[in-house]
Chain A
Amino acid sequence: MKRLLTREWLYSIGLLAVLLVIWEVSVKYLEIPFFLLPPPSGVLMSLQGGFAESLTSRVGFYLHTYYTVSEALLGFLIGSGSGMILGTLIAQSRFVGKVLLPYIVAFQSLPKVALAPLLIVWFGVGMTSKVVIVAMLTFFPLLVNSIAGFESVDPDRLEMMRSFKATPWQIFRKVRFPSALPFIFAGLSMAIVYSLIGAIVGEFIGGRHGLGILILQMNFNMDMQGVFSVFVVLSVIGIVFYSAMQFIERRVVFWTARSRDVTGL
């Protein structure tokens, strides 16, 4: 990160301010009912209210954020971790890869959230079912990207290693795995975004805690200001997740053009 506040950033923030003012003014003058679209000032009040609650309050943000973030991160670790390991194993054998390919394609084209109701029945309304949904969503980007990463290794690099009489394990450790890493990180960036989607969808279908539950409750009470304030919390979590991933990516796979050219976020 060379410059934190670039010109583009200033313009982005300026644009946000302008949009908020237009929103505020038009809600007021067009007399839009608050249960259809609350003004930003109202959303801000709800935000303050949500953060003013105690850590364990069921109407505040803290408890629900804790649940949603835990579900998302736990599911992300399990799903992307197993996707990466299985993808790596599959990529070691062309034969195994070809045998499993039809299954991968079939699962890949299935909208995984369609399985969410079933998973609630299997794993209950607690955290486990959400973690499983997130794990399923984050599994495939890593599976597919790991396989693609290992298959795209430059054959010249392999021949170069062979010229030194390298063992297969040395070739894997020193060339094939690092060569696949940029693909694996592209998968992780995708998966971290999916993890939040999975947690919220899971909570919508059945649960007791989480920001998805909070949205449902506020929606039921026609508290649109509250609903919008949860949107703000969710997008902040999303931005933090994604930026953290980018931060790690830029440090680990620093040699890729993607890592060197990215300006801000």
Chain B
Amino acid sequence: MPSFIELRHVTKTYRTLQDEDLLALQDVSFDIGKGEFVSIVGTSGCGKTTLLKIVAGLIPHSGGEVLIGGSSVEGPRRDIGFVFQQPVLLPWRTVLENTLLPIEVMGLPLEQYRERAHEILDMVGLTDFADRYPFELSGGMQQRVSITRALVFEPDVLLMDEPFGALDAMTREAMNLELLRIWSKSGKTVLFVTHSISEAIFLSDRVVALTPRPGRLADTVEVDLPRPRRLDLMQTEAFGKLAKRIRSLLGIKEELGGIE
């Protein structure tokens, strides 16, 4: 598969308050093919969110290069939809108005995209909530609105930063199935950050494991499980093997927990 997103030796150093340089990401390189679903896993503080925001152009990198569709990422771009950890909806706007926010900002024809927004809201099961306000929705529904907001302007790439981390386990599983359905319909290239190994395996074609501090590429693991995927896939032996492999890459011991 030809690569669509390319990370070449991406490095990020932060300047601390004590004027020391802190290495957050070191020499991270990997490729993502068009239409592929790739997850980044790692323990908290390994720099996976930083890496995702570098790909989005929201944070500048200190070294290396990120290319999307052959062009270098120098700042935020309009071929990327970003889904944050929190829904970050504007409470004074209805679901539809929140969805259309990027259209307004980008100066695209509103009338034309209103139809498109309704289509996506249908796709995520929010047909009847278009005119509701965010405070009238549950957490899972709010996060779905933030996904529609990232999809409405039809970006090629969807970057997702632990979007379901704040949801309860059952809602989270439902959202995972939903996301796979949306992804298979829309054909977007997805880069998904999570600290849940099983979530990463369940969703992805490939899982990128990052080591803790500084974040370095431990390895990428191919997930050769059949699609469409069902929740009972998580109980299979193949799934367990992949999880075990990723745990060992992250330095997590199998018994008595803990990180080496």
Contacts and interface: CB of A to CB of B under 8 A. Distances in A.
Interface of A: 154, 156-157, 159-166, 170, 174-175, 178, 253-256, 260
B88 A165 contact: no
Nearest to B135: A255
B58 A162 contact: yes
A157 B89 CA distance: 8
Contacts of B153: 164
Interface string B66-84: 0000000001111010101
A164 B78 contact: yes
B86 interface: yes
B9 to A, nearest CB: 24
B76 A163 contact: yes
Contacts of B78: 164-165
16 contacts: A156-B86, A157-B90, A159-B88, A160-B84, A163-B76, A164-B76, A165-B76, A165-B77, A165-B105, A165-B106, A174-B101, A175-B90, A178-B92, A255-B92, A255-B133, A255-B134
A255 B104 CA distance: 21
Q: Is the interface of A mostly helix, strand, loop or mixed?
A: helix
Given A156-B88, A170-B105, 14 more contacts: A156-B84, A157-B90, A160-B88, A162-B76, A163-B56, A163-B82, A164-B102, A165-B105, A165-B106, A174-B104, A253-B92, A255-B133, A255-B134, A256-B91
A255 to B, nearest CB: 4
Nearest to A170: B105
Interface range on chain B: under 10, 10 to 19, 20 to 34, or 35 or more? 20 to 34
Contacts of B82: 160, 163
Contacts of B101: 164, 174
A179 to B, nearest CB: 8
Contacts of A164: 76, 78, 101-102, 105-106, 153
Given A162-B58, A164-B76, A255-B92, A174 B105 contact: yes
Contact of A178 (B58, B84, B86, B90): B90
A39 B75 CA distance: 75
B206 to A, nearest CB: 24
A158 to B, nearest CB: 10
A77 B26 CA distance: 57
A131 to B, nearest CB: 33
A170 B82 CA distance: 18
Contacts of A254: 92
Contacts of A175: 90
B95 to A, nearest CB: 13
